[in-house]
Amino acid sequence: MKLSGNPRILYINKWDKCISYVWYCRNAFSSSTQPKLKDNNFFCREKWNSVVGLEIHAQIASKSKLFSGADTSFAKPVNTCVSFFDCATPGTLPVLNKRCVEAAVSTSLALSCKLNEVSLFDRKHYFYADLPAGYQITQQRQPLAVDGELKFRVFTPGVHKKAYVKLSKIKQIQLEQDSGKSLHDELERRSLVDLNRAGIPLMEFVFEPDLTDGEEAAALVKELSIILERLGTCSCKMEEGAIRVDANISVNKPGKPLGIRTEIKNIGSVRNVATAVRYEIERQILELEAGGVIVNETRAWNDEKGMTVPMRDKEEKQDYRFMPEPNLPPLHLHMDESIENKYDLVNVPLLKSQLPELPEAIRVKLQENFGLSSETAIIIVNELVLLQYFINIMKENNKRSAKRVTNILITDLLTSLNNKNIQLNSCLIPYQHIGEVVDLLENRNINITVARQILDILIDDSESSPRQIVERNEWFQITDETELIKLCQSVIDDNPELVKKYKNGKKKLLKAFLGQVASRSERRADMEQVTKIMERLLST
């Protein structure tokens, strides 16, 4: 099986399904990192199962930190968002942020979790320069929510023919603090510690090991991030570290017990989730096939080298010595609508009533109402910007062809943006303009080539309307039959040799004629009509 032009090792997961890539819109295959495994053993590979479980940390979108009133803004000057509590000043105590509880409750509800009416906080102990208290406050014994599930679709254009649905169970969702950041100054042998991130609120999602490969892992992360974005409970800016993924991975032979697992820590992009997990599965298989053993260890994904590497602190297994956080009484939630909320607790029924429509429901709706395919629905919903375009364009004029709209968005707009290296989120084109492009196409005022050129212009200049651009450039499609006949005839007249060959049976040459018509008309000719006219003229 060939992927991305590179020979790859083929392995079979427990459902004998080929590994595929999930679609990441424009960035799908732009990653430079590829596993650097040799492709020996290609043909003699035995079957292996692979088991993947994820733990995902998502920063909660809040103004202030989980337990202090310090700012959570990203990229602030070093150590300017640090309260006394955040730097573990003796005598300071945690005070829980209501917004963080509400965000985690909404998220738990969206993931069909069972909320614990009473949850507890615990200390998890380990020494690290960017963990000033020597422990992290988290929820271990009795987390905020348990027993949820996330259903998501796995689909990678070009790899999967069809999308398939996957379900991963959620063991628990807990609130916890983020750590600070250490900059390692190798030259001077020291770490520089910035505590701006210390104490930023996190939701940790602990998933059961229900996945089989990197593609599913990446699709899960993507789906979770769409949900969080819809809920507004996380910025989901992975480039800012708003979502970080730890993956537990093991491989085993079918029918044999599960293998020893390794953990890859802190994977920072959806793309890297797929590549890192795939790499690690392959590494483990190679190791075992070479007669080696897998050790239970923590590894890191090295993006530059495109490989997982063992982390240096792997001595004995860590004993975190969990202990109840004595400075935080139990967190109670208001669960029952029929009872008065007299302690002003976080109101679960209220939050439930305010949940927005979730991506899976939107996809189903898109398929039902607009006849989109599952695959198209996935791509549209995966990008909030595309979804908003789609909905707005269709709302503006529901006569428009949904298929044409999705084609323009998925194929043409994304390609244009990609060519100019512009993020979808930075696309300033008003939806009305894109709608107008669709209409111009629909009315055959322009052809698809012109449509793409218009999009290119709109990306740089979102002020002009598509119609103005077409007028300015005289790009209207030539649909007048007499004019088109004239054009075709002139090409025929200029190419007597070709005409002779065509008439002798070289019908393939039709394309050459059409090409000349297109270029003579500066690609404005309605090629559908031209084809018919040309065939007619040549057959006489």
The one among 8, 14, 17, 125 contacting another protein by CB under 8 A: 125
The piece of 15-23, 108-116, 312-320, 428-436 that touches another protein (CB under 8 A) is 312-320
Among 26, 57, 123, 524, binds another protein (CB under 8 A): 123
Which DSSP symbol is given to 211? B
Tokens standing for residue 118: 């009473």
| Residues 409 and 377: beta-carbon distance below 8 Å | no
Q: Which is nearer to another protein, 80 or 462 (CB)?
A: 80
- Interaction residues for another protein, span 195-234 (CB under 8 A): 195
For another protein, the binding residue among 316, 340, 493, 497 (CB under 8 A) is 316
Binding flag, residue 63, another protein (CB under 8 A): yes
Which 82-121 positions form the footprint of another protein (CB under 8 A)? 82-101
Q: Note whether 309 binds another protein by CB under 8 A.
A: no
Q: Does 144 bind another protein (CB under 8 A)?
A: no
Total binding residues for another protein by CB under 8 A? 72
Stretches 10-18, 213-221, 274-282, 339-347: which one binds another protein (CB under 8 A)?
A: 339-347
Q: State the minimum distance, in angstroms, from the CB of residue 181 to another protein.
A: 10
Using CA atoms, how far apart are residues 263 and 401, in angstroms rounded to an integer?
Answer: 47
- Interface with another protein by CB under 8 A: which range of 5-13, 169-177, 192-200, 419-427? 192-200
Name the segment binding another protein (CB under 8 A); options: 50-58, 177-185, 282-290, 502-510.
Answer: 177-185
User: Binding to another protein by residue 239, rule CB under 8 A?
Assistant: no
Strands (E), 135-280: 135-138, 145-154, 164-177, 181-185, 190-194, 201-207, 243-252, 262-267
Shortest reach from residue 265's CB to another protein, in Å: 12
For 228, the enclosing helix (H) or strand (E) is helix 214-231
Question: 342, exposed or middle or buried, with CB in 10 Å at 0-12, 13-18, 19+?
Answer: exposed
The side-by-side arrangement of strands in the sheet containing 346-347 is 118-119, 331-334, 346-347
Task: Establish if 321 lies at the interface with another protein (CB under 8 A).
Answer: yes
The minimum distance between CB 275 and another protein, in angstroms, equals 24
CB within 8 Å of 290: residues ≥ 6 apart: none
Distance CA 457, CA 81 (A): 42
**Interaction between residue 313 and another protein (CB under 8 A):** yes
Q: Which two tokens stand for residue 179?
A: 């750590």
Tokens linked to 121? 């906080």
Structure-derived torsion over alpha carbons of residues 294, 296, 302, 303, reported in degrees to the nearest 10: 80
Quote the least distance from Cβ 225 to another protein, whole Å: 22
| 331 contributes a contact to another protein by CB under 8 A | yes
Looking at beta carbons only, is 194 or 383 nearer to another protein?
A: 194
497 to 536, contacts with another protein by CB under 8 A? none
Q: 197: Cβ–Cβ under 8 A, 6 or more apart, which residues?
A: 130, 178, 179, 180, 181, 241
Q: Which two tokens stand for residue 394?
A: 């269709």
Say whether residue 299 binds another protein (CB under 8 A): no
Q: Of residues 399-428, which lie at the interface with another protein (CB under 8 A)? A: none
Instruction: Give CA–CA dist 354/233, Å, rounded.
Output: 13
Cβ nearer to another protein, comparing 318 with 489? 318
b/e code 130-158 from CB counts within 10 Å (16+ = b)? bbbbebbbbbbebbbbbbbebebbbbbbe
In the stretch 255-294, what mask flags binding to another protein with x, by CB under 8 A?
----------------------------------------
Residue closer to another protein, measured from CB, 133 or 525: 133
